[in-house]
Amino acid sequence: MENAPVDLRDALRERLAIIRDEESRRDAQAHMARLSAVSEKIDKLAAAVPGPLDPQLAHYLQRRSYDKALEFLEGQAPPRP
């Protein structure tokens, strides 16, 4: 995966799009299946990022704080406490 960080960012965006998809939520089972599939994709892409992950990004991904992980990848990381 040559562009793993970009692919990871895109998968995180895809996850947000699924969450916001009103039509998708009408079929709860299909909606959850889509969320599960994109979550697996995110896990695989995170593992494919070359070199060690930034500790903050790794923290967000391990905790499934995907919104924060996306902000981090887009250069808008929330301030550290």
pLDDT tens per residue, range 58-80: 999 999 999 999 999 998 655 55
| One-letter amino acid for residue 22 of the chain | E
Asked whether residue 79 is domain-assigned, the answer is no
pTM, two decimals, is 0.84
How many structural domains is the chain composed of?
Answer: 1
What is the rounded average pLDDT of the residues 44-67? 92
Q: Alpha helix (H) ranges present in 1-81?
A: 4-20, 22-25, 28-48, 55-62, 66-73
Q: Is residue 31 part of a domain?
A: yes
Per the structure, the complete domain to which residue 64 belongs is given by 4-73
Cβ 39 vs Cβ 15: under 8 Å:
yes
Indicate whether 78 belongs to any domain.
Answer: no
Residue 36: name the closest of 44, 69, 10, 2 by CA: 44
Which amino acid belongs to residue 3? N
User: Angle at the Cα of 63 (from 61 to 22), degrees rounded to 5?
Assistant: 80
Residue 7 pLDDT level (bands cut at 50, 70, 90): very high
In a domain, 81, yes or no: no
